[in-house]
Amino acid sequence: MHRDAFYSVHPAVNMAFFIFVMLITCLVLHPVIVGISLVSACAYTVVLKGRKALVFDLCLVLPFIIIVALMNPLFNHEGVTVLFYLWNGNAVTKEAVLYGLVSACMFAALIMWFYCLNSVMTADKYVYLFGRAIPTLSLVFSMVLRFVPRIFKRISLVSRAQRSIAPPMGKSAVKAARHGMSVLSVTVTWALESAVNISDSMRSRGYGLKGRTSFSIFRFEKRDAVMGSLLLLAFALSVWAVAAKRIYFRFYPSIKTVPADALCVIGFIAFALLCLAPVLVNLKENILWRLLKSKI
Amino acid sequence: MASVKIEDLTFTYPNAASPALENISLEVGEGEFMLVIGPSGCGKSTLLRHMKSVLTPHGERKGRVLVSGRELDSIPQREQTADIGFVFQHPDDQIVTDKVWHELAFALESLGAEQGRMRLKVAEMAGYFGLEKVFYNEVSELSGGQKQLLNLASVMTLSPRILVLDEPTSQLDPIAAFDFLTTVKKLNTELGITVILSEHRLEEAMPFADRVTVMESGRITVCDAPRRAAEILYRSGSKMYYAMPAAAKLSLELGLDETALTVNEGRRLLLSMGLPKRRLPDKPAKARAAEPVLSAKEVYFRYEKDSPDVLKAASVELRPGEIMGLVGGNGAGKSTLLSVLCGERAPYRGRVCAEGKRMKGRFSAFDAHIGLLDQDPRTLFSSDTVREELEKAASHRENAGERIDDVVRLMDIGGLMDRNPFDLSGGEQQRTAIAIILLTRPKVLLMDEPTKGMDAGVKRALGHRLTALANEGIAILLVTHDTEFCAEYADSVGLMFDGGVIARAETREFFSRNTFYTTAANRIAGEVFENAILIDEVTEAVRGTNRE
Amino acid sequence: MEQTGNKSRLRLILSLVTAGIVVPAVIALGVSVWDDRRFYIVSLLIIVASMVPMALRFERRRPAARELVVLAAMIAIGVAARAAFYMVPQFKPAVAIAIVTGVAFGAESGFIAGAMIAFVSNFIFGQGAWTPWQMEAMGLLGLLGGLIFHRRDGALPKLLPLCIFGGLGTLVIYGLIMDTSTVFTTQSSVSWELLAAAYASGFVFNVIHAAATVFFLLILARPLLKKLNRVRVKYGLLE
């Protein structure tokens, strides 16, 4: 079972959250924005999978960040503040170094958000989300999810059976490949026969009649509406601040930023709240539980 | 009024020489429980499929099918979908979606039900069919029995008036099968749903039925109340008599006035005869070879490092020429033991020996002369014709080519040589699969659920063939739920429980001391003939006692 | 699964045009005009937009139950096959299976199979910014396979042209799309030099992938197509 409280929120809200956060992270290359996003993604990873997983994920991401951060100043020589010159006479500028660093963090944040998305947006949520707009494809998707584990199981049974009537393959790659193909081919035949039977059961249960609806166990409740509105509000505030150029950061040719004013601070706070929403939801649930427990 | 009425229906598949259904007339009353029986290929499925338009096969048809007095084809699809529920044979081959809750709602979705109604119906069905605990699960996590209940539940969401079930329990173990049939009976008695059920498990299904329709090669030969039907089959010497419940056979063969159907009825009849208690003489034990050809000694196995042991000190020995049955509940470790014996998995403790040699780690079943037959024989096929299949199998052993003719004769598949193995019937596929395995010259034959989905006649033929193979010196292990088959053909039987083989004994001894894992005959006659396990033995013993 | 009527044909061509021309155009525009990642979002939107007509076409046609399940079975096989070869980088049969589906059932089903194989297998491999690109690339190959080789009578295509198409398609179409996506998702700024560098460094991987597609088409295409035809005949499928 998922221990994450945000997981049980309505899928549309889940999806909206990831779209909002990733859009802003990806489009607004501002050190503070990128920082907020990266830290929140890490915090959420801890909530989802624990500290160990965060260290593991960061170890995967780190080399990538370093490469991106290094690549930019080596290949990009814009910017006016020259730090030093390379062996080939190209300048390494402060702007380019900073740009590389911030974009590296941006990519890191996006990757971390995708890790979170992978644990929150399970396949059934996509089936549901697509169910309204593209019901047939969503059904195909669900059928594929049903088929895949069956096919894996079948492959292992067929492979066992076929190996038992032929000499061992040893280390011969050709034999192994031939065996693999034969197993795949038998599995395909079986899958197609099974498909035909399944289609009988579908038609027997009325598939193809006009006016099909789609059932869902996800109910859009009041808390989803509240949560969704709050996320939308935070998103809108951040976008407003960005659009009004109150959240602004220029790298080239020279670094330029605007002095912080009320809207800028509001924008940052809104974005921070947006990014931390899943963590906050979890905190709230935890506190509520503690209170309830102490009352009992 | 009749719920379903079939008038003089004759049906021929395209390109078929003879009709699959011939002059079928049948009337099923409102709320009736109709059992349709007959050997595989007799046309049961074809007949049942004529009761719903979308399932009716293509071909040439004469005659009429009426449902609630209306011609079937004139009833709109929407109405048919809701009113006539259909459950098929393979639990897996009718589940469409990946989640239990979604599958439950599938039929409702098709008819365009709105959310509120779906929520209610789905909840109601999940409760009634005991699927609440698995409601949010993946379908792939369910057992076979749960899957079939899910299929039934999904159909029941539309509240059909007629339920047609085509061999729904053939892929289930006996406990799940009985559960399923009981649920169907409950729907029949509590909700008055008309049930039309085709079955091979007559021991359990016959007592539930109001009437039994017997089909043989596309015709209805008998249609009567269960007891009467059994009597007619007995008197006419029909092949289907062989499939009757043990109690019915006992009472018919002893010429009693009353025909029993259930174990309890049979038992009371027998007790009322006041026979003296006695033991049947033991069969002379087969001369057993000294050295086992395949053995596992106290093997331990677990799937993952941290997971619990699936096999715990499991031991088993197979000697040349013996047939051993291995029974036990689901999850007792039968399949895992099988995969250890065939070298697919290596135990982390204990030893496996084949032909006297200790096998280390995973090993090749082929090299160890171990043949393995999965419960689905289709896993063995990879060619377009049976002939190619056999030739390919023979190519791996020296001189095996010469044996093809013998094997073909032994398995009686001469007429199938040019057919595609995937187009054969279940029994034919199994014979072909055994032929393929025999060409690899096995000394041991491991069989997983060999009688699954088979009718009584095919089972009997299989039993005779296995006995013949054993007489040639092949050791056979039957991993099965089919106690009746074990009782008839196995020399010894082992019971698996909690990862170990906890009891192994000569077949008669094994079954006569169990109360649950035993045969219907033993349950009927155990109090009089404590070690009788086959119904023929019981009738013989009664006659013998009476003669004295 | 057949293309009937001019209207649907037109729609098919339209979506092809979107996918084949507009996406590269946006990329070019992004590289030369925009200097931030706005073009990444736009190109992503266009990819999604190019899938929408395909999806809607499929939805409107209301495919029969048999067609759906057989398609789902092929997609699942593609997913399983891709997962089965997880330890060999790039050497994957998924593209070959998408192409075979296209050849057997037509361009549209080919696209859907390709896109779906990419999408579903990423639940095993992990979703990421690359998912839409992969869907588009694999879908396109399935679509083109169907467009070029699909015959309504189920006639088997010649193996040589099919393999050449599979190889070139994987090398050029799949390779270019995925290398572009790599630059977009891992570089802080995009220039022609970076793209060229990505294409150059990706070349070896693309060649391996193309070789895999050719290899799998060579040994899988005919048996699979024959099996699909057998089912088609035995059960009167797709008529």
In tens, the pLDDT along B472-516 reads: 999 999 999 999 999 999 999 999 999 999 889 999 989 988 888
CB atoms under 10 Å from CB of B206, counted, come to 23
Q: What is the pLDDT of residue B49?
A: 95
Provide DSSP, A138-170: HHHHHHHHHHHHHHHHHHHHHHHHHHHTS---T
Which chain A positions have a beta carbon within 8 Å of C83's beta carbon?
Answer: 152
Same domain, A233 and A117: yes
The residues that bridge with B216 in the sheet, in sequence order, are B219
In tens, the pLDDT along B315-324 reads: 999 999 999 9
The residues that bridge with B358 in the sheet, in sequence order, are B353
Contact call for residues B246 and B266 (beta carbons, < 8 A): yes
Which residues lie closer than 8 Å to B70 by C-beta, 6 or more apart?
none
- Model confidence at A86, in pLDDT bands (50, 70, 90)? confident
Nearest neighbour of A198 by CB, restricted to B93, B118, B374: B93
- Model confidence at C3, in pLDDT bands (50, 70, 90)? very low
Task: Report A:198-257 residues touching C (Cβ under 8 A).
Answer: 198-199, 202-203, 207-208
Which residues lie closer than 8 Å to B176 by C-beta, 6 or more apart?
B143, B144, B145, B148, B169
- Model confidence at C36, in pLDDT bands (50, 70, 90)? low
What is the CATH number that goes with domain B294-521?
Answer: 3.40.50.300
Same domain, A11 and A85: yes
Residue with the larger pLDDT of the pair C44 and A275? A275
Same domain, A113 and A86: yes
Which chain A positions have a beta carbon within 8 Å of C123's beta carbon?
Answer: 123
Which chain B positions have a beta carbon within 8 Å of C230's beta carbon?
Answer: 420
Check if C49 contacts A (Cβ < 8 Å).
no
In tens, the pLDDT along C138-192 reads: 999 999 999 999 888 878 889 999 999 999 999 999 999 898 888 877 776 677 7
Average pLDDT of the segment spanning C114-143: 91
Q: Report in angstroms the alpha-carbon separations of B161 from B31, B69, B107.
A: 8, 14, 15
Q: What percent of chain A has pLDDT over 70?
A: 99
Check if A194 contacts B (Cβ < 8 Å).
yes
Same domain, A234 and A115: yes
In tens, the pLDDT along B326-335 reads: 998 888 899 9
Same domain, A48 and A101: yes
Q: What is the pLDDT of residue C5?
A: 52
What does DSSP assign to residue B192?
Answer: -
Contact call for residues A139 and A147 (beta carbons, < 8 A): no
Which residues lie closer than 8 Å to C200 by C-beta, 6 or more apart?
none
Backbone region of residue B38 per phi and psi (left: phi > 0; alpha: psi in -120 to 50; beta: other values): left
Q: Which of B25, B44, B142 is nearest to B89 (CA)?
A: B44
| 3-class secondary-structure state, position B25 | strand
Per-residue pLDDT at B311 exceeds 80: yes
The encoded tokens of residue A147 equal: 């088929």
Domains of chain C, with CATH numbers?
A: 63-234 (1.10.1760.20)
Nearest neighbour of A134 by CB, restricted to C37, C59, C186: C59
Nearest neighbour of C236 by CB, restricted to B58, B96, B420: B58
Per-residue pLDDT at A152 exceeds 70: yes
User: Of A154, A178, A204, which residue constitutes the final position of a domain?
Assistant: A204
| 3-class secondary-structure state, position B476 | strand
Q: What is the pLDDT of residue B183?
A: 96
d(CA C77, CA C212): 16
- Cβ-defined contact of C234 to B423 (cutoff 8 Å): yes
Average pLDDT of the segment spanning B42-51: 94
Q: What is the pLDDT of residue C1?
A: 40
Per-residue pLDDT at C43 exceeds 80: no
Q: What is the pLDDT of residue A1?
A: 42
Check if A137 contacts C (Cβ < 8 Å).
yes
- B301: phi then psi, degrees, rounded to nearest 5: -150, 140
For domain B2-244, which architecture applies? 3-Layer(aba) Sandwich (3.40)
Task: Report C:27-46 residues touching A (Cβ under 8 A).
Answer: 36-38, 40-41
Residue A1 located in a structural domain = no
Q: Which of B19, B3, C10, C170 is nearest to B11 (CA)?
A: B19
**Minimum Cα–Cα distance from C227: chain B residue:** B384
Contact call for residues B454 and B466 (beta carbons, < 8 A): no
CB atoms under 10 Å from CB of B413, counted, come to 22
Provide DSSP, B388-450: HHHHHHHTTSTTHHHHHHHHHHHHT-GGGTTS-GGGS-HHHHHHHHHHHHHTT--SEEEEEST
Strand-pair category, B294-301 with B475-479: unpaired
Check if A122 contacts B (Cβ < 8 Å).
no
CB atoms under 10 Å from CB of B147, counted, come to 22
Per-position b or e across B33-72, b if 16+ CB within 10 A of its CB:
bbbbbbbbbbbbbbbbbbbbbbbbeeeebeeebbbbeeeb
Q: Which chains touch C (3 or more CB pairs under 8 A)?
A: A, B
d(CA B377, CA A161): 9
Q: What is the pLDDT of residue A296?
A: 66
CA-based Rg of chain C, rounded to a whole angstrom? 18
**Minimum Cα–Cα distance from A178: chain B residue:** B382
- Model confidence at C27, in pLDDT bands (50, 70, 90)? low
The encoded tokens of residue A47 equal: 């909530």
Contact call for residues B198 and B48 (beta carbons, < 8 A): yes
Nearest neighbour of C69 by CB, restricted to A177, A188, A198: A198
User: Of A177, A204, A231, which residue constitutes the final position of a domain?
Assistant: A204
In tens, the pLDDT along B347-397 reads: 999 999 998 899 988 999 999 999 999 999 999 998 889 999 999 899 888
Distance from CA of A282 to the nearest CA of C (A): 24
Q: What percent of chain B has pLDDT over 90?
A: 74
Per-residue pLDDT at C6 exceeds 70: no
Contact call for residues C216 and C182 (beta carbons, < 8 A): no
Same domain, A280 and A182: no
d(CA A29, CA C188): 10
Q: Which residues of chain B are at the C interface, by a Cβ-Cβ cutoff of 8 Å?
A: 58, 96, 420, 423
d(CA A77, CA A96): 7
Per-residue pLDDT at A123 exceeds 70: yes
In this structure, which amino acid lies at residue C157? P
User: Of A150, A177, A204, which residue constitutes the final position of a domain?
Assistant: A204
- Model confidence at C4, in pLDDT bands (50, 70, 90)? very low
- Lowest model confidence (mean pLDDT) among A286-290, B228-232, C41-45, C210-214: C41-45
Half-sphere exposure of C108 (CA within 13 A, CB side): 25
**Minimum Cα–Cα distance from A209: chain B residue:** B110
Same domain, A104 and A224: yes
Average pLDDT of the segment spanning C98-127: 92
Question: Quick one: which H or E segment has residue B165?
Answer: strand B162-166
ipTM entry? 0.88
The residues that bridge with B33 in the sheet, in sequence order, are B195
d(CA B157, CA A242): 53
- Cβ-defined contact of B94 to A139 (cutoff 8 Å): no
Distance from CA of A291 to the nearest CA of C (A): 38
C-alpha B137 chain-centroid distance: 27
d(CA B302, CA B310): 5
- Model confidence at B291, in pLDDT bands (50, 70, 90)? confident
Q: Could you tell me how many residues make up chain C?
A: 239
What does DSSP assign to residue B361?
Answer: S
C-alpha A32 chain-centroid distance: 21
Q: What is the pLDDT of residue B331?
A: 82
Which residue of C120, C230, C233 is the best one to mutate when testing the B interface, meaning the one whose CB has the most B CBs within 10 A? C230
Question: Quick one: which H or E segment has residue B70?
Answer: strand B70-71
Same domain, A116 and A154: no
Q: Which of B544, B509, B505, B539 is nearest to B524 (CA)?
A: B539
- Cβ-defined contact of B423 to C236 (cutoff 8 Å): no
In this structure, which amino acid lies at residue B299? V
Average pLDDT of the segment spanning B65-78: 94
Distance from CA of C224 to the nearest CA of B (A): 12
Per-residue pLDDT at C9 exceeds 50: yes
Distance from CA of B169 to the nearest CA of C (A): 24
- Cβ-defined contact of A165 to B139 (cutoff 8 Å): no
Distance from CA of B384 to the nearest CA of A (A): 11
CB atoms under 10 Å from CB of B457, counted, come to 15
Which chain A positions have a beta carbon within 8 Å of C63's beta carbon?
Answer: 136
Q: What is the pLDDT of residue C124?
A: 87
- Cβ-defined contact of A216 to B115 (cutoff 8 Å): yes
The encoded tokens of residue B41 equal: 């290929």
Q: What is the pLDDT of residue B495?
A: 93
- Lowest model confidence (mean pLDDT) among A45-49, B1-5, B169-173: B1-5
Q: What percent of chain B has pLDDT over 70?
A: 99
| 3-class secondary-structure state, position A83 | strand
C-alpha A21 chain-centroid distance: 11
Strand-pair category, B70-71 with B60-67: antiparallel
| 3-class secondary-structure state, position B213 | strand
Residues of chain B with CATH 3.40.50.300: 2-244, 294-521
Distance from CA of B334 to the nearest CA of A (A): 15
Distance from CA of C237 to the nearest CA of A (A): 9
- Cβ-defined contact of A144 to C224 (cutoff 8 Å): no
Q: Write out the residue range of the structural domain in which residue A155 sits.
A: 135-204
**Minimum Cα–Cα distance from B110: chain C residue:** C65
Same domain, A21 and A106: yes
Distance from CA of C71 to the nearest CA of B (A): 13
Q: In what order do the strands lie in the sheet with B311-318?
A: B311-318, B294-301, B349-354, B357-359
The residues that bridge with B505 in the sheet, in sequence order, are B493
Provide DSSP, B292-331: -SEEEEEEEE-SSTTSPPSEEEEEEEE-TT-EEEEE--TT
In tens, the pLDDT along B88-121 reads: 999 999 999 999 999 999 999 999 999 999 999 9
The residues that bridge with A92 in the sheet, in sequence order, are A84
Per-residue pLDDT at C31 exceeds 80: no
d(CA B391, CA B436): 9
Which residues lie closer than 8 Å to C105 by C-beta, 6 or more apart?
C1, C67, C70, C71, C113, C146, C150, C228, C238
Task: Report A:238-257 residues touching B (Cβ under 8 A).
Answer: none
- Model confidence at C37, in pLDDT bands (50, 70, 90)? low
Instruction: Tell me how many domains chain A contains.
Output: 2
Same domain, A150 and A99: no
Average pLDDT of the segment spanning B57-81: 93
d(CA C97, CA C114): 8
